[in-house]
Amino acid sequence: MKKIFYFLAVLTLFTSCVSKKNQAIKQNILTLKDSYCKAPFKYNYSSRIPSYNSDSILAANKELQGLFSDQSILILNALDNLDEVHQIMDLKKDSSLASQVKVLQLKIKINSKITIALTELDAVAAEFDCEGERVAQIGNYVDNLNDSRNNKLILLSIVTGAAASVAGGIVKDDSWSNAIDIGGGVLGAGFGLATLNPKGKKVEFIHQRNLLRDIWRGKLESPNFPPFIWYMYTEKKFSNKEQHSIIGNMKERWLHYQFDDNKTEADQSVIFSDGGFYRADDLHNRAAMLNQMQSATRTINQNINYLLLDLDKLIL
C-alpha cells in the first residue's frame, strides 16, 4: 500500500505544478488576444496607387535610361519625382551658381519623398515583426498546453500500470489478479493513445487588422499599407524574374508549403480572417508567413538604395 501512496503523492505534486503554470500562462495570454502592434494613430493615406503601365513610363523617359535603372525610373514615377529629375538634367547644362543651388533644392525635394518612402517601409516591416512575435507567443502558449496535457496522460499511464502491477501482487486470487493486470494495461494503453492527438488544443486569437489578408487576396482592400508600399509589392518589375510580383511569388510559396496546394483550404483558413480559434500548426504557419513578409518588405530597401546611388551620380 505504501507504494501506491507514493505514486499518488507524486502524481498530485506534478498535477499541482502544471496547474499553477497553466494559470500563469492564461493570465498572460489575455494581453495577446487582440493586437498591440497596430499604430496608435491612424494615418489616412491617399488611395491612389501609382500607374502599373511600366512599359509606357519607361518609353516616355528613355533619356533617363542611361543614368537610371528601369526600377529607379519606376520608383521616381511612383514618388512623383520624374519632373524634378528632368529639371536637374536641364540645369546641369548650366554651370552657374544659381543653377547649382536650384539642383540642390530639387535633390532635397526628391530626398524628402524618398525619406518618407523609407519610413513607410520601416513602419510596415516593424508591424510584420511585431505581429510575428505576438503569434509566436500565442504559439508557445498552445504548445505548452499540448505538452502539459500529454505529460499528464503519460504520467497517468505510468501510474496506472504501476498501480495495477502492485495491486495484482497484493491480490492472492489468480482470476482477480489477472483481471486487474488486464484492466490496468487497457487503461494505461488508453491514456497513452490519448496523447496521439495530431491537432491538439485551440486558442482564440484576434486580428481584425489582418496584414496577410490583402496579400493573399492580391487587393488593397484596407488602409493597412501605404500606396507606395503596395505598388512595390505588386509591380512585377520589382521581383527577381519579373514574371510575378513580390506578393505573387509569396502567395505561390504559401499555397505550396503552408496549404499543400489546397487553395480552397487556404481561402477558408482562419489565417486570412478577422481571427478565431487557432491550433498550434496554424499559429506557426501564420508566424512564418508574417516573418516572410517582413523580409520581403525589407528587401525593397535595396531598390531605393540603388536609386540613391543613381541620383548621386547625376548630381556629381
| Rounded mean pLDDT, 21-40 | 59
pTM of the model: 0.76
Mean pLDDT calculated for residue range 190-199: 41
- pLDDT of 71 > 60? The answer is yes
pLDDT value at residue 96: 92
In degrees to the nearest 10, what's the CA dihedral of 14, 19, 21, 24? -160
pLDDT single digits (tens) 109-153: 999 999 999 999 999 999 999 999 989 888 888 877 765 544 444
pLDDT of residue 187: 42
